Structure 1
Amino acid sequence: VGAGPSGLVAALTLLQNGISVRIIAKESKQRIGQRGSTIQASDHPLPCPRSIELCRYLGILEDMQDQGAQAPFMRKYKAGSREPFKTLEMDPLLEPLPDRPYRNALIIGQNVTEAILRSHIEKYSCHVELSTRLESFEQQSDHVVV
C-alpha cells in the first residue's frame, strides 16, 4: 500500500525474489514535486541506513547516479557584494572503503527516485494502481486477501 520510495523498494525487492505484488496508491496521479532530495551514505554524521548500497543491490544505482548529483558547495558573500568570502564543501568527496563503498550523499529528488523505481518495477509487468484505496485485508496462513 503506497507508491512512495519505501513501498516501491519493498515491491521491487519482492518482485526480484519471485513474489507477486500489487501496488496501490490513493493518489490519482504520480507525484510531480519532491519532498526529500538526498540519499545519505554511511559517513553521514547521523545514524542512517545504507541507502546507496541498497540501490546497488536493487539494480537501480546506475540510473540513480545518472539522474542524481553530488552535494554542491556553499558560498558565503559579504553584504552587498558578489565576491564570495568563503566557500564550503557540504559533503567533501571521500574515497570508498571495503566496508563502506559509498561514503557520499547522492542528491536526487523523491519524484525522480520514484520514477526510477517504477521503471524497474515495470520490467516485471507490474504497475502502480492509482486512485485505489485499501478497504480491508485478511491474513491467511500463506497469503493475504486485500
Structure 2
Amino acid sequence: MSQPSVLIAGAGPTGLILAITLLKNGVPVRLIDKDSKHRIGSKGAGIQPRTLKSYDILGILPEILKCADKELYRRRMYELPAGIKVIKELPMMEYVEPTTGMPHTNPVTIGQDLHEEILREYLRELGRIFELGTCRAGRL
C-alpha cells in the first residue's frame, strides 16, 4: 500500500465523496473520523441534481436511486392516530421532466445513514477502509 498523499478528516458524505473522487483519479488517501461508530439518522437528507450528476459520473448513482425517495415534489398528510390513511397531498415544488440533455432535474431524499453506507461500500470496493475514533486529541 502506498503512503497516502491526502488525509481526509471526516467520514460524512463530503469526506466519503472526496475520498472516492481522489481514489478514482489515482490519488492515495487516508480517511479518518473522530466518532467511534457510524452515526444513525440524518442531518440532511436531500441530494440535489448537480450532486446526482456527480454520482452518475462516479458510478454511484444507480445504488443511490435504488434507495432514494424520488417523489420529493409531493408530500402527504396522514390521518392520525394511525398515520396510514392519506388525507391530503401537497405539491412541494414543480416536478421537471428529465430529458436526454438534462437527466438529473429533480432532487431526491435518502437518509444520511443509508447514504453514507452506500458510499462506504463503494470505498470498500475501491479497496479503501476508513478509520473510526481517530481524530481525538493526540490520536492522529
Asked if Structure 1 and Structure 2 have the same fold, meaning a TM-score greater than 0.5 normalized by the shorter chain, the answer is yes
Map 1:37-52 → 2, pairs under 5 A: 37-41=45-49, 50-52=50-52
Judge conservation of contact 2:95–2:106 (CA < 8 Å) in 1. Answer: yes
> Counterpart in 2 of 1:115?
117
The answer to whether structure 1 residue 2 and structure 2 residue 10 are counterparts is: yes
Q: State the 1:36 CA deviation.
A: 0.6
Of 103-112 and 5-14, the range deviating more from structure 2 = 103-112
> Counterpart in 1 of 2:91?
89
Structure 2 counterpart SS, 1:22: strand
> Counterpart in 2 of 1:46?
none
Map 1:1-146 → 2, pairs under 5 A: 1-41=9-49, 50-70=50-70, 71=72, 72-75=74-77, 84=87, 87-133=89-135
Sequence identity of aligned pairs in percent? 37
Distance 2:20 2:57 in 1: 11
Structure 2 counterpart SS, 1:27: coil
Structure 1 counterpart SS, 2:21: helix
Query: How many residues get paired?
Result: 124
RMSD: 2.4
Distance 2:33 2:77 in 1: 41
Structure 1 stretches of 4+ moved >4 Å: none
Distance 2:76 2:35 in 1: 36
1:83–1:16 CA distance, 2 compared to 1 (3 A): closer
Distance 2:37 2:51 in 1: 26
Distance 1:133 1:88 in 2: 44
Judge conservation of contact 1:91–1:104 (CA < 8 Å) in 2. Answer: no
What's the TM-score once normalised by structure 1's chain length? 0.74
Where does structure 2 lack aligned partners over 5 or more consecutive residues?
A: 1-8, 80-84
Where does structure 1 lack aligned partners over 5 or more consecutive residues?
A: 42-49, 137-145
